[in-house]
Chain A
Amino acid sequence: MATSKVSETFVVPIGPQHPALKEPGHFEFTVDGEIVTNAYVRLGYAHRGIEKGAEGRNYIQSLYLTERICGICSHIHATAFALTVEKLAGVEAPPRAQAIRVLVAELERIHSHFLWLGVAAHESGFDTLFMYSWRDRETVMDILESLTGNRVNYSANVLGGVKFNVDNEQADAIRKGLEFLEKRAHHYLDVVINEAMFLQRTRGIGTMTRNQAEVMGAVGPTARASNVPRDVRVEAPYAAYKEYPINMVLDTRGDVEARFVVRIKELFECCRIIRQILDTLPPGELTTRVPRKLPEGEAVMRVEAPRGELFYFIRGNGSDKPDRLKVRTPSINNFTTVIKTAVGHQLADIPMILSGIDPCFSCNDRMVHIQNIHKHDENWMTWEELRRYGIEYYRRIRK
Chain B
Amino acid sequence: MKLGTMLRDVTGSLFRRPVTEKYPFERREAPQHLRSLVKWTPEGCVGCSLCETDCPAQAIDFIILDRQAKRYVFTYHADRCTFCAQCVISCRQHCVRLECDQWELAALDKSPFELHYGDPADVEKALAGKTK
The answer to whether A and B touch in the complex, with CB atoms under 8 Å apart, is: yes
The residues of A with any CB-CB pair to B shorter than 8 Å are 57-58, 60-65, 128-129, 132, 135, 138, 142, 145-150, 153, 155, 158, 163-164, 187, 190-191, 194-197, 199, 287
Chain B residues whose CB sits within 8 angstroms of the CB of A57 once the complex forms: 56
Cβ contact within 8 Å between A147 and B33: yes
Cβ contact within 8 Å between B6 and A129: yes
B89 at the interface (CB under 8 A from A): yes
B5 at the interface (CB under 8 A from A): yes
Cβ contact within 8 Å between B31 and A195: no
- Measured between C-beta atoms, what is the minimum distance from A170 to chain B in Å? 9
The residues of B with any CB-CB pair to A shorter than 8 Å are 1-6, 9-10, 19, 31-35, 53-57, 82-86, 88-90, 98, 100
| Interface core residue of A132, A147, A150, A196 (most chain B CB under 10 Å) | A150
Q: Which of A61, A145, A191, A196 contacts B54 (CB 8 A)?
A: A61
Cβ contact within 8 Å between B33 and A146: yes
Cβ contact within 8 Å between B2 and A64: no
- Measured between C-beta atoms, what is the minimum distance from A131 to chain B in Å? 9
Q: Which of A62, A129, A142, A195 contacts B2 (CB 8 A)?
A: A195
Cβ contact within 8 Å between A158 and B56: no
* Sample of 19 more A-B contacts, CB < 8 Å, known A63-B56, A194-B5: A60-B56, A61-B54, A63-B86, A64-B57, A64-B86, A65-B56, A128-B9, A135-B19, A138-B19, A142-B31, A149-B34, A149-B85, A149-B100, A150-B35, A153-B82, A155-B83, A155-B84, A196-B2, A199-B1
- Measured between C-beta atoms, what is the minimum distance from B104 to chain A in Å? 15
A-B contact pairs, 6 of them (CB 8 A): A58-B53, A128-B10, A132-B6, A148-B33, A163-B85, A196-B3
Roughly how many angstroms separate A62 CA and B6 CA in the complex, as a whole number?
45
- Measured between C-beta atoms, what is the minimum distance from B32 to chain A in Å? 6
Q: Which of B1, B3, B56, B83 contacts A61 (CB 8 A)?
A: B56
Chain B residues whose CB sits within 8 angstroms of the CB of A287 once the complex forms: 89
Cβ contact within 8 Å between A155 and B85: yes
| Chain A residue nearest in CB terms to B34 | A149
Q: Which of B57, B83, B86 contacts A150 (CB 8 A)?
A: B83
Roughly how many angstroms separate A142 CA and B21 CA in the complex, as a whole number?
14
Chain B residues whose CB sits within 8 angstroms of the CB of A147 once the complex forms: 33
Q: Which of A64, A129, A191 contacts B84 (CB 8 A)?
A: A64
Chain A residues whose CB sits within 8 angstroms of the CB of B9 once the complex forms: 128, 132, 187
Chain B residues whose CB sits within 8 angstroms of the CB of A155 once the complex forms: 35, 82-86
Roughly how many angstroms separate A197 CA and B32 CA in the complex, as a whole number?
44
Roughly how many angstroms separate A138 CA and B4 CA in the complex, as a whole number?
24
Q: Which of A58, A145, A158, A190 contacts B5 (CB 8 A)?
A: A190
5 smallest A-B Cβ distances: which pairs? Answer: A149-B35, A64-B56, A61-B56, A155-B84, A191-B5
Roughly how many angstroms separate A197 CA and B3 CA in the complex, as a whole number?
7
Cβ contact within 8 Å between A164 and B2: no
- Measured between C-beta atoms, what is the minimum distance from A66 to chain B in Å? 10
Cβ contact within 8 Å between B31 and A149: yes
| Chain A residue nearest in CB terms to B8 | A187
| Interface core residue of B2, B6, B57 (most chain A CB under 10 Å) | B6
- Measured between C-beta atoms, what is the minimum distance from B36 to chain A in Å? 8
| Interface core residue of A129, A147, A163, A197 (most chain B CB under 10 Å) | A163
Chain B residues whose CB sits within 8 angstroms of the CB of A164 once the complex forms: 33
- Measured between C-beta atoms, what is the minimum distance from A244 to chain B in Å? 24
Chain A residues whose CB sits within 8 angstroms of the CB of B86 once the complex forms: 60, 63-64, 155, 158
Cβ contact within 8 Å between A149 and B33: yes
- Measured between C-beta atoms, what is the minimum distance from A135 to chain B in Å? 6
Cβ contact within 8 Å between A60 and B33: no
Roughly how many angstroms separate A197 CA and B6 CA in the complex, as a whole number?
12
| Chain A residue nearest in CB terms to B83 | A150
Chain B residues whose CB sits within 8 angstroms of the CB of A58 once the complex forms: 53-54
Roughly how many angstroms separate A148 CA and B4 CA in the complex, as a whole number?
39
Chain A residues whose CB sits within 8 angstroms of the CB of B56 once the complex forms: 57, 60-65
Roughly how many angstroms separate A190 CA and B83 CA in the complex, as a whole number?
40
